[in-house]
Amino acid sequence: MKNIAVFASGRGTNFDAIAKAVKNSSLKVNLALLVCDKPKAPVLAKAKKAGISLALIERKSFNSKKDFENKIIQCLKEKKIDLIVLAGFMRVLSPYFVKKYRNRIINIHPSLLPSFKGEHGIADAFTYGVKVTGVTVHFVDEQMDHGPIILQKEIQINKKDTLTSLEAKIHRVEHKLFPEAIGLFVKDKLKVEGRRVKVV
């Protein structure tokens, strides 16, 4: 069984969805570690409640980004992590880190990439006025919200939608799509071909 680590900085709703999928055996992985960089993040309490090992690693505790990332890498090696899952981790990983875990880091983003990259993907799509947005799960490369796309799901934006209702719709899709993508990885069904990912 493959070992996964979830990286999160906030509420941890995607962490919750992954932990539940593991608990009910719809996702057959060992959720071995939560990595968090914020001591007040609500996700920490969720990890403790679920009995998941956690590593609270604050950037300010280290002289450089490389030292910070090396501490994370040390924790990943100790747990023999096969896959890193970015679930609201609000830091951009360096090329140094990405290279060490090439095609073993996946991220979820609340838009249909390459549209509406960045921290405010939901609000940006809503403000722009598009009729369709969505969710993307992708492998992480050296650029932000880039890298080969694993899965995407479209979401209609209706006239009655508010930003709050759209966020709720997107989160519901995220909580299904992310465990699905992780499942494909752990079953060795993902083959990266340049900027594309083929499900085999």
3-state secondary structure string, 55-85?
EECCHHHCCCHHHHHHHHHHHHHHCCCCEEE
Q: Which entry of 109, 120, 138, 171 is annotated as an active-site residue?
A: 109
Structure letter (DSSP) for residue 2:
-
CA diameter of the chain = 50
Q: Is 120 a catalytic residue?
A: no
The sheet carrying 30-36 orders its strands as 54-56, 30-36, 3-8, 83-86, 105-109, 132-139, 149-156, 196-199, 190-193
In 3-state terms, what secondary structure has residue 5? strand
Proportion of the chain in helix, strand, coil states, percent, rounded to 5: 35, 25, 40
Query: CB-hemisphere CA count at 13 Å for 41?
Result: 28
Residues identified as active-site: 109
